Chains A and B, each alone.
Chain A
Amino acid sequence: MMRWIAAGLCIGVLLTVTGCWDRTELEEEAFVPSLAIDAGPASGVFIYTFRIAVPRELTGSSSGGNQGGGSGGDTQKGSKAISVMARSLGEAINLTNSTVERRLNFVQCQYVLFGEELARQGVSLHLQDLLRFRQFRRTMFIAVVKGRAADSFKENKPVLESSVIRYLEGLQKLRRFTGMVPIVHLHIFARAVQSGSEDAYTSVASINQGVKEQDRRKNPQQQDSNEETGKESESPAEKQRSNESFRDQTVTYEAGKIRRVGGNPEEFPGAAVFRGDRLVDFLNGEEARLMLALRGELPHAFFTVHGPKGRFTLEVQEQGQPRIVRLSDGERPVWEVQPRFEVDVVSAAGAFDTRSHGGLVDMQREAEQWFDRQAERLVEKLQRDRSDTLRFGMHERRRFLTDAAWKSYGWRDRFSQIQVRVHSHFVIRRVGNQLVSSGMR
């Protein structure tokens, strides 16, 4: 008898509790891979833009052909953006769902963008929405868009990817390639905002108006023929536009201002630094990787150094956390930050002796001096902003035994008082495929 009851129970359970209660099918869901939040026309009102994935347009690999992921530049085909004005994220979701035929679902959401104006007003209200609603994950990435965040969806035309999901995943890897795109998870950002002993930063996205304009003026027929032949031939009109772009001869790492022709109108170098929950400043790409280096989080980067002997480029990998030494106490304590890098020489044009150890040591010194100067400038900038994104506070609080003692110390006011010296240590291990640069004029 018991066996029959057990068998009946097993069959009953298998038939009734294998699915979810409300029988939701995948075809009934509208997945939102990214969303943007901008300041609204009045206080307490915001513009929420949801980028909704169109599943049948998301197919294809990133490796080939004119279809799917391989064609590039058409993430707009794979997704549709809808903006709505609302007072909260929940309200925005409901309002949007009054026009979208499927239920918005954020379990696949990977990116949240804040508009610059909103970020300057403070993001804690929105952070609370994101941290509380169960569909959002703390592993999502967040960024600040210079200007309006919604424009980021409109102007974003990736070079290779057409799948919006693959594109977002690709962006996450940029941090490892250049160090200039310091991608940040929501968890890390929220932790820093809440901690009181450090400040937060995010990556930056910005529309390069020059490239956007070039993209707009491009002849559609020409574009089609290029796609067919797979070539990027340059017409006289394009040549003229290239010349216009490169008229300004300075190299810049600032998001939205990189001198270039072609590619995605949107670019990502730099960081947005916060004080508490408010955006206070932007760092350019070079400053962003210096910041990562001083935090001990720079996995890989190319540094180009110009000196009296010429210029050389180093491929650096940071070795662990920088040591922080307290050189003196008092009203204006002096700190020394000592980051360490393993280095390969990528290029050296000039009178450099890369054949001998002594020559490499000279090169190291030059690189160290350059790095220390730049990094100290960055520290001064962040002290002016009163934004401890370098996490010096986290180091300082080790000296205190209790929370009460640390709170009464008043780190926020003291942060801008400390004098910081940077003393980097570069160790060149390899010199590339050439021992010397002689014979080249």
Chain B
Amino acid sequence: MHTGYIGTKEARALLTVVLSASISLTLPQDLVFQAGAAGWLSMMISLAGGLVAWRLIARIAKMAPGRSVVQMAGMWWGAPGRYAVGIILGIYFLLITGLVLRAFVEMVIGTILPRTPADVVMFLFMVVTLYIAYFGLETLSRLSQLVGWTLLVGFLLLLLMDVGWMDVNYLYPLLGPGWAQIVKIGVLKSSYFSELLLLGLMIPGMRVVEDVGRVAWNAVLVSGVLMVLMVLGYTLAFPPPAGADNPFPFYQMARLVYLGRFVQRLETVFGFLWVMTAAIYMAAGLWGATQSLAQAWDLPVYRPLVFPVAVLVFGIASLPADYPQTTSLTNVYLRSWGWVMLLGMPAALWLGAVLNRRRRKEG
């Protein structure tokens, strides 16, 4: 049996869950903070940015079938290229996983477990994350397929249950801060799709490598539509300026569910979705960081690196002094400049492939 590989459905589920995870973190608040009531329009532009990245990744995947982005860099630019791409990706996933871990831990403490020490929550999360990441892509993707539908239904149900709080009048003035700002924020916030690069590392583990483009398309579209819907729903229920001041948008949306005296206080149910998404996201991030570094050094296995990388993630998560610093580092840097990685890396690889092909032809 052909084991150790994942199918198209599993890959799609993993990527969709990972991309959608930001919904349960600070994405809605970030968009409302940056673009006011027009945050959802900016998110649509971000989605377009994500689709451009999909096109680039699908194209480079065809140029070197079955190879990861790190291996492609090695093919085109030799060992230095492999090191550069592997290390850059590794550091990116390391940073983003560490910061998301810290943000998530702070959210859990700020809402559900106010008196539990941060280290304890972080340690428990790391244990789960480490376990999933250690067993690799197959475990990760099957788990994602298992919970993906639950998450999809959960997100939509949350929006549906909060419809009573939504008021369409809050979308006006329609262009909020003006079209220039909407476009600018839309481009910057394409960074929310930067985890698409994970697919670039997953390619060698995919059973049908021709499906890379389809997987990316489906994942970007489903998660992008969910992001737009969530930002829209959030803006209608928590319009600016209130919406921009909310540190835990998803949790607050869940807390707002009030369908009479019997159907209320459902945040624990949605908290379950929240925890599952975060666990998969962080495990995928840890796996991504480990894979990037392992591929950079052309190691045959990545598992020995999982523990040291997890320690690094734990260390990075412990660095920010407080929750505002964590979100500011995430939203101002990673979620504003991640688009350079998202579009820049596939574009560079595509350019490398084209030049390489031309050179070979000339040779």
The answer to whether A and B come from one shared complex is yes
Nearest residue, chain A, Cβ from B171: A398
A406 within 8 A of B: yes
Residues of B within 8 A of A139 (CB): 255-256, 258, 264
Q: A28-36, A116-124, A190-198, A275-283: which one contacts chain B? A: A190-198
Residues of A within 8 A of B115 (CB): 20-22
Q: Of B120, B239, B258, B264, which is within 8 A of A191 by CB?
A: B239
Residues of A within 8 A of B127 (CB): 9
Residues of B within 8 A of A9 (CB): 127
A42 within 8 A of B: no
Can you add 17 more A-B contacts, CB < 8 Å, to A20-B116, A401-B174, A406-B173? A17-B124, A20-B115, A134-B110, A134-B114, A139-B255, A139-B256, A169-B261, A187-B256, A194-B242, A195-B239, A394-B169, A397-B169, A400-B172, A400-B173, A401-B173, A402-B175, A403-B173
Q: Of A21, A394, A398, which is within 8 A of B120 by CB?
A: A21
A404 within 8 A of B: yes
A126 within 8 A of B: no
Residues of B within 8 A of A397 (CB): 169, 172-173
How many interface residues does chain B have, given as a range?
Answer: 20 to 34
A172 within 8 A of B: yes
Q: A134-B111, A401-B175 are in contact. Are A21 and B117 (CB under 8 A)?
A: yes
Q: A391-B169, A400-B172, A402-B176 are in contact. Are A194 and B110 (CB under 8 A)?
A: no
Are B261 and A172 in contact, CB atoms less than 8 angstroms apart? yes
Residues of A within 8 A of B167 (CB): 394
CB distance from A25 to the nearest CB of B (A): 14
CB distance from A398 to the nearest CB of B (A): 5
Residues of B within 8 A of A188 (CB): 165
Roughly how many angstroms separate A352 CA and B264 CA in the complex, as a whole number? 47
Q: Of B36, B116, B241, B255, which is within 8 A of A137 by CB?
A: B255
A185 within 8 A of B: yes
Residues of A within 8 A of B238 (CB): 191
Roughly how many angstroms separate A194 CA and B127 CA in the complex, as a whole number? 43
Residues of B within 8 A of A404 (CB): 177-178
Roughly how many angstroms separate A402 CA and B179 CA in the complex, as a whole number? 9
Q: Of B37, B120, B173, B264, which is within 8 A of A405 by CB?
A: B173
CB distance from A58 to the nearest CB of B (A): 15
B348 within 8 A of A: no
A395 within 8 A of B: yes
Residues of A within 8 A of B170 (CB): 195, 394
Roughly how many angstroms separate A391 CA and B168 CA in the complex, as a whole number? 13
Binary A-proximity of B163-204 (CB < 8 A = 1, otherwise 0): 001010110111111100000000000000000000000000
Residues of A within 8 A of B110 (CB): 134
A–B complex contacts, Cβ < 8 Å, 24 sampled: A20-B113, A20-B116, A21-B116, A22-B115, A134-B114, A137-B265, A138-B255, A138-B256, A169-B261, A172-B261, A187-B256, A190-B242, A191-B238, A195-B170, A391-B169, A395-B169, A398-B169, A398-B173, A402-B176, A403-B37, A403-B177, A404-B177, A404-B178, A405-B173
Roughly how many angstroms separate A22 CA and B165 CA in the complex, as a whole number? 35
Binary B-proximity of A1-43 (CB < 8 A = 1, otherwise 0): 0000000010000000100111000000000000000000000
Nearest residue, chain B, Cβ from A170: B261
CB distance from B315 to the nearest CB of A (A): 23
Roughly how many angstroms separate A394 CA and B173 CA in the complex, as a whole number? 10
Residues of A within 8 A of B264 (CB): 139
Roughly how many angstroms separate A420 CA and B176 CA in the complex, as a whole number? 28
B328 within 8 A of A: no
CB distance from A107 to the nearest CB of B (A): 9
Residues of B within 8 A of A195 (CB): 170, 239
Binary B-proximity of A125-153 (CB < 8 A = 1, otherwise 0): 00000000010011100000000000000
Roughly how many angstroms separate A402 CA and B172 CA in the complex, as a whole number? 8
Residues of A within 8 A of B173 (CB): 397-398, 400-403, 405-406
Q: Which of A190, A191, A406 lies at the interface centre, i.e. has the most chain B CB atoms within 10 A of its CB? A: A191
Residues of B within 8 A of A169 (CB): 261
Nearest residue, chain B, Cβ from A137: B255
Are B165 and A187 in contact, CB atoms less than 8 angstroms apart? yes
Are A194 and B169 in contact, CB atoms less than 8 angstroms apart? no
Residues of A within 8 A of B252 (CB): 138
CB distance from B216 to the nearest CB of A (A): 34
Roughly how many angstroms separate A22 CA and B127 CA in the complex, as a whole number? 22
Roughly how many angstroms separate A191 CA and B236 CA in the complex, as a whole number? 11
Q: A138-B252, A185-B258, A194-B241 are in contact. Are A403 and B169 (CB under 8 A)?
A: no
Binary A-proximity of B139-178 (CB < 8 A = 1, otherwise 0): 0000000000000000000000000010101101111111
Residues of A within 8 A of B258 (CB): 139, 185
